[in-house]
């Protein structure tokens, strides 16, 4: 199997994970389920950006992946602080 085929297979698998995460955001029974799904969407988006950089050879995709990962981390931390404040009430 050629390396390009592996990259394209990874693109398909990460895209499938992204779609499944969107379903969990829509149907998630609780807020923590939805937050984890949104975090997974950020990770998948960063992964797709890195795979896009591998396919195209453009470094700009890697910069976008770093920004997406940082925003996802900040969103998770913000939710954790919110959940902590709600549990103290």
Domain ranges in the chain are 3-88
pTM strictly above 0.85: yes
Q: Could you give the CA distance from residue 60 to residue 72 in angstroms, rounded to a whole number?
A: 19
- The predicted-structure confidence for 14-29, as pLDDT tens digits, reads as follows 999 999 999 999 998 9
pLDDT tens for residues 31-48? 889 999 999 999 999 999
- How many Cα atoms sit within 13 Å of 30 on the Cβ side? 4
The tokens for 22 are 């969107």
Per residue in 35-81, pLDDT (tens digit) is 999 999 999 999 999 999 999 999 999 999 999 999 999 999 999 89
Taking the chain, what is the end-to-end CA distance rounded to the nearest angstrom?
Answer: 57
């Amino acid at each position: 199997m050629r390396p390009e085929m592996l990259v394209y297979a990874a693109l398909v698998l990460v895209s499938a994970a992204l779609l499944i995460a969107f379903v969990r955001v829509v149907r998630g029974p609780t807020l923590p389920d939805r937050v984890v799904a949104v975090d997974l969407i950020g990770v998948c988006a960063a992964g797709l950006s890195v795979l896009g950089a591998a396919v195209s050879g453009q470094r700009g995709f890697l910069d976008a992946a770093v920004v997406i990962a940082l925003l996802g981390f900040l969103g998770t931390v913000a939710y954790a602080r919110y959940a902590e404040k709600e549990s103290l009430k």
